[in-house]
Amino acid sequence: MSLPTPRSSLKAVLIASTLLAGGAVGTALPVAPAHAEVPMQGYADLVARVSPAVVFIEVSAKSQEPAPRAASPLEEFLRRFGEIDPQFRMPAPPERDRVMHGLGSGFLISQDGVIVTNNHVVENATDMTVKLEDGREFKAEMVGADPMTDIAVIRLRDASDLPFVEFGDSDRLRVGDAVVAVGNPFGLGGTVTSGIVSAMGRNINSGPYDDYIQTDAAINRGNSGGPLFDTSGTVVGMNTAIFSPTGGSVGIGFSIPANTVRDVVAQLQETGSVSRGWLGVTIQPLTPEIAQAMGLEGSRGALVAEVQPDSPAEAGGVESGDVITAVNGQEIGERSSLPRLIAAIPNGEEARLTVQRDGREREMTVTIGELSADRLEPAAAAAPEGLGAPLGLEVQPLEPALARQLGLPEDASGVVVTAVDPAGPNADRLAPGDVIEEAGGRAIATPRDLASAVAEARGRGVLLLKVLRQGNPVYVGAEVAAS
């Protein structure tokens, strides 16, 4: 389960998601490395070249039934950050025959009218009108969409000889490089802002494949799907999200790297859907405390909490308690790196995993499967809803292999604390590596057992825990938050 973000005046506003992709036809802007220098004459020449390929999208959607639906990853991202400004709330299920309208941005990647934008801009659209900078309007149709990365590809009808842009190499971006964002904020029309790359590889918990570019270029509502350019005029990202206490830009914006999106768009253009690799493991962070308890140096890698039955990981010999440190020679820095690396491997291909087990490094080969919706359910079920907020903890089951690594009997039971919210109610009471054996006098074997004990203790405000800490039993009076 994930730690809750501390509640504060901070509001998260999701405005666009992942990025462009290849497949451009004809002559386009040359690919060149990003440069940090701001030209003396400003960006007027660059904007004049690229802005004709940036489009504004008006969407109408009509629903016949107020059908309930599960929260999307984007809505979950908004929910985690607490109270959201009403103007940025995701719409409730529409009333019968209600027509909804929306605005967003996008950009042309081919002469014949192929456009990349966000899935949430065009999702469930019954009518899409695209406006170009020169005033021309076209109707558009869906080519394909990938909700997991919030990428969509649409095509203009009866279009030819249109301006378009190409992608640069987002892996060559450096913190401090100058970037320019173009889009349609608040429906005002073509708007240009500039800034620098503030950080790379940001994970904002909006989905399993987060790897955002952070920029201070002003991004606002309506910039969804708009491009982020380097100073050579190539697209290096697609403007996606902001953190803001007011709902407007405060200089913390996020764009998905062009390299991440290129493959997704290529698949959407070819088949209308996206195929991703599947390993079949539930992973958790390798905290410094757990790494020390396991006799490992550093805390890089993904700790395997569970191996799913009949999965490629099980067939390849991966065990609970293994720490996966590399895939095909590419090192895993954080836990979130593993899903991205596995997803990029085609179904049926072999992958070489580097694994730490019992203090020794070993190599193993697994044949990657194909990820499907039903294969995502076991990971979701591992995090009981509502547990993180009351205790401010992230926990995982104590599997036999993990118990052995922690120096506990293999038949030990309980849940392992893998992270503690520093702003939560138990930051000074519990620590990563603690094993919760009992809660409120009842034995704890799974996170769901703990969630039940927490629910019963809400009225009392405190819950007595029996904890194994470095192999020694201690009792802790844990505070249970009211909400």
Query: 149 or 46: which carries more pLDDT confidence?
Result: 46
- For residue 462, the one-letter residue type is V
Q: Which amino acid would we find at residue 422?
A: P
Q: Is the pLDDT assigned to residue 79 strictly greater than 80?
A: no
In tens, the pLDDT along 319-332 reads 988 899 999 999 88
CB 232 within 8 A of CB 168: yes
Catalytic: which of 17, 110, 150, 206? 150
pLDDT number for residue 335:
66
- Flag whether pLDDT at 140 surpasses 70: yes
* DSSP for residue 263: H
Retrieve residue 14's tokens. 């999701």
pLDDT of residue 378: 46
pLDDT in tens, 248-277: 777 888 888 899 888 889 999 999 988 889
Characterize 314-342 residue by residue with b for buried, 16 or more Cβ atoms within 10 angstroms of its Cβ, and e for exposed: bebebbbbbbbbbbeeeebeebbbbbbbb
Measured on CA atoms in the order 72, 74, 75, 77, is the torsion positive or negative? positive
Binding residues for substrate are: 120, 150, 222-224
Question: Rounded to whole angstroms, how far apart are CA atoms 16 and 106?
Answer: 10
More confident residue, 111 or 458: 111
CB 202 within 8 A of CB 212: yes
Q: Is the pLDDT of residue 241 over 90?
A: no
Work out the pLDDT band at 35, boundaries 50, 70, 90: very low
Q: Which pair of structure tokens corresponds to residue 92?
A: 């409730």
168: closest CA among 46, 45, 253?
46
Question: 100: part of which helix (H) or strand (E)?
Answer: strand 98-108
Q: Would the pLDDT of 311 be above 60?
A: yes
Tell me the average pLDDT across 198-215.
81
- Burial level of 91, CB count in 10 A (0-12/13-18/19+)? exposed
**Among 17, 120, 177, 194, the one annotated catalytic:** 120
* Residue of higher predicted confidence among 248 and 378: 248
Encode pLDDT of 352-374 as tens digits.
999 998 888 999 999 999 987 66
Four-point Cα dihedral 125, 126, 131, 137, nearest 10 = 160
Q: Is 224 considered catalytic here?
A: yes
The single residue of 51, 170, 224, 249 carrying the catalytic annotation is: 224
- CA-to-CA distance for 169 and 461, rounded, in angstroms? 52
> At 253, phi and psi to the nearest 5?
-120, 160
**Would you state the pLDDT for residue 144?**
94
pLDDT digits (tens, 9 = 90+) for 36-51: 456 667 899 999 999 9
Domains of the chain: 9-270 (2.40.10.120), 277-378 (2.30.42.10), 384-479 (2.30.42.10)
| Phi and psi torsions of 258, nearest 5° | -60, -40
